[in-house]
Structures are given as C-alpha cells and as structure tokens.
Chain A
C-alpha cells in the first residue's frame, strides 16, 4: 500500500487532520438551546457550570461534560436559576446530594486542611532554605565560594591560571585550539602545583 506520499504531503495530511480536530472541538461543548430570561442569569449559569464538577467524570466540569447526569444537573441548575435561587443555594443543593466531590474549589474544613495549607507551608520552607543558603554564602561559610578564603599565594596562582590560556590562544592564532590547549596546561599546571605543595 505505497501511495507515494511525499514527506511534505504526509505532514500536510497530518496538519490538516489536526486542524480539523481543533475545528471540531467547540462542537463537543454542549449547546443549550433554551435561552435564559436575562443575560445575567446566563452569566451565572455559565459560571456555576464551570465551577461545578460532573459527578460521573473525574475531571470535567458540568459545562464541558456530555454525560447524561451532567445534562440533568444543568437542567436542574437552569430551573433553580429561573426560580431566583442564589448561587450558594444551588451549590448547596448539589453538595447535599453529591458531596464535596462536585466542588472544584473545595471548602476549608478539617479533611481539606492539608490541601489548603500545604502550598503555603512548602513555599515557606523553600524561602527559609533559600534564605539560609544566601546567608551562608554571604558569610563565606561555604568553602570555595568566597575570595577571602584564599591565601595570598593561592590568589596569585589563580590570576596566573586565568591569564595563561588567553596568551596561549593568541600564540596559536586559533581560538578553539587555544582554549583546549590552554585547558590542558591549566590542568597540568594545577596538579604540578598541588603535588609540589603537599610535602
């Protein structure tokens, strides 16, 4: 089954398929045919169905879900809105039947305490750790992070090491070559110095 599709042709097919898929997404959103008596009610309806979770689905709100129970609940919410009931009333109606599960924004209570406090606690811990690390670095307690921890001899050695590779790079005339060679010489230089220092 070789159709002789070129690479470009194939990607064009994939691209157009994706375009079609994207184009058909809004069709999945449930269309309510009946209009509301006022635009304010429609606004509240939209808000409520976005905030409330479909009991049958794991992660879809009532507005997006196509399951029959969601359609029923949307109908109930519509009726209650037209009856002039408040948002809290309607939310309470659903919670008393389906539990806190239907709320995307769970209430602050004993079993949700962790959920609400954990982000704050974690941020606080992270801030403390960060603060401690910065303070230690400022004080120069972390070895090798402060210039003051080097002796005079070490300072001289350091500045020599920094200046050396650049000179060599200039000699060879090629930057890449120079750095590698410079790198080599730094290593040998360093080990030489260290072994010389030991006894």
Chain B
C-alpha cells in the first residue's frame, strides 16, 4: 500500500499526460454544426447571375448537392475554386452561397475564372449565413435530396476533404441513406 503511494504522483502524471496528449490532436477550431440532420433553413434570396430570379430552399430538393459559401473577399475561396470546378466537371451538383459580397465583383470573378455553381444564392446581408451558422468563408455543406443538411466542412475543400465527404455523397446519390 505504501509502495503504491510512492507511485501515485507518477500515475497521476501519466493520466494527465494522456488526457493532454489527446487534446493536442484536436482542432480547437472544429465546431460541430448545430444544423446537421436539420432541414435547410427557409430563405428567399435573389440568384446572383439572374437577379430577377428569386430562389428559396426548394432548390435543394430532388438531388444531393454541395452548398459552398464563398466570396470574392475570401482568399481561401480562390484556392478551392479550381477544385470545385473539377468536382462540377465530375457531375457533382454545387450550389453557391455568395456571402456578404459585392455582387458585381462576384459575377466578374465567375466570368473570369469559371463557374462551378449550378445556382448561386446572393446573400448580401448575410442573414441566410446566420441561419446556417456560417461564421466565415469558405464553408461547405452537404445537403441531401430532401434538403436536409448532412455534413459541414469549414475551410478549403480539396482532394483530402473530398475523400471524407464522397462516401456519404455517393450514398445520398444512390438514395440508400435516406
């Protein structure tokens, strides 16, 4: 018993080290979305490229899609832009949310660098962003054919991230996971 007491500090140290070591691997910025498995919030926003067109949450019905939050003021968005073009070319449906942006600059950018988005929602005041729990750009959501949010990624989408999302996307596409 007394022998054991001698080792007590060591045991406590090892336990503490184990807990803290686990904490090192964690991303302090990781924030689970409160909207996972919840339907897309209702909205009524103009389309970026056809301003006379009013879009609502029904644009997400019928086919799973990526919802990509982007803006011209966001440098990381330009980093992921080529990869989004690549995904779009593979047939992935991408809906854009132009978040708190200058619409003219956004339209220009799409004309100049290519448009991976099937539809682009113009969210100038950022209200839809707040309803989605957006706190920066880029953010990407995976929305299923019923318009339910299934996954959220904060940051640049690249090949490594897509390999994480794709299995779920394929399942949603096949209609298995509904």
A76 is an interface residue with CB less than 8 A from chain B? yes
Q: How far apart are the CA atoms of A58 and B131 in the complex, in Å?
A: 21
B35 is an interface residue with CB less than 8 A from chain A? yes
Q: How far apart are the CA atoms of A69 and B154 in the complex, in Å?
A: 15
**Size range of the interface on A?**
10 to 19
Contact of B133 among A68, A72, A76, A99 (CB under 8 A): A99
Q: Is the CB of A97 within 8 A of B136?
A: no
Contact of B28 among A56, A58, A69 (CB under 8 A): A58
By the criterion of a CB under 8 Å from any partner CB, how many residues of chain B are at the interface? 17
Looking at B100, B126, B130, which has the most chain A CB atoms within 10 Å of its CB?
B130
B34 is an interface residue with CB less than 8 A from chain A? yes
Nearest chain B CB to A130 CB, angstrom units: 16
B76 is an interface residue with CB less than 8 A from chain A? no
Nearest chain A CB to B141 CB, angstrom units: 13
B85 is an interface residue with CB less than 8 A from chain A? no
A73 is an interface residue with CB less than 8 A from chain B? yes
Q: How far apart are the CA atoms of A58 and B29 in the complex, in Å?
A: 7
B31 is an interface residue with CB less than 8 A from chain A? yes
Could you list 25 examples of A-B contacts with CB < 8 Å? A55-B135, A56-B135, A58-B28, A58-B29, A68-B100, A68-B126, A69-B126, A69-B134, A69-B135, A69-B136, A72-B126, A73-B130, A76-B130, A95-B34, A96-B34, A97-B34, A97-B35, A97-B130, A97-B131, A97-B133, A98-B135, A99-B31, A99-B32, A99-B33, A101-B31
Spell out B's residues near A (CB within 8 Å). Answer: 28-29, 31-35, 100, 126, 129-136
